[in-house]
Amino acid sequence: MRVDCRRLAPGEEGAYRKVHLESLLTFPDNFGTRYEDQRLVDRLPFEDFISSASEDNFVFGAFVDGELLAIAGFRREVRPKTRHRGEIVQMFVSLAAQGRGIGEMLLRSVIEAAFDLPDMESIELSAVAENDAARKLYERVGFTTYGIRRRHFKLGDRYWDQRFMELHCGDYRPVL
């Protein structure tokens, strides 16, 4: 099995879209957006970031034997007083690739690319509070919880709590 984690390049928007929609179908409770809504959007924001090769907003993918099976996006804050921060979003590993350490490889790739950006000091992310697998992965690479927002998501009469985590540049320890 050959795994290559890298930034998606212009022309790979379709592959990204396919995996992003798969994430919403596979784990609908783990994301704030819904498959039913996202599939109708002509062009998703990260598709634009990929096609424009944005330096501050990007998607990394994990390609297993040449096939894109995992994604993680990064968005940098835009306001002058918040540009030292960014957020990892849409982290997903296809069921076919889970349990092989691919999620951690992908996450570390995104973190390293983000911290390579000028003046980037901290990265945030969030996950549904009940998602223990995500929490354990994020803690393994150095993220710490700074809060849980109760009833962050609501659909009908169902609520989901959201865990918010952060990683500061000086606290990140890459695998050597």
In order, the DSSP letters of 108-130 are HHHHHHHHTSTT--EEEEEEETT
Per residue in 82-106, pLDDT (tens digit) is 999 999 999 999 999 999 999 999 9
- Looking at domain 3-171, its CATH class is alpha beta
What pLDDT score does 175 carry? Answer: 78
What pLDDT score does 174 carry? Answer: 84
Tokens read off for 87: 């957020």
What pLDDT score does 1 carry? Answer: 83
Specify the pairing of strand 122-128 against strand 85-93: parallel
pTM of the model: 0.94
What pLDDT score does 176 carry? Answer: 63
SS3 category, 78: coil
What pLDDT score does 65 carry? Answer: 94
Those residues of the chain that have pLDDT short of 50 are none
What pLDDT score does 173 carry? Answer: 84
SS3 category, 23: helix
What pLDDT score does 85 carry? Answer: 98
SS3 category, 33: coil
Per residue in 27-53, pLDDT (tens digit) is 999 999 999 999 999 999 999 999 999
Residue 171: CB partners within 8 Å, gap ≥ 6? 142
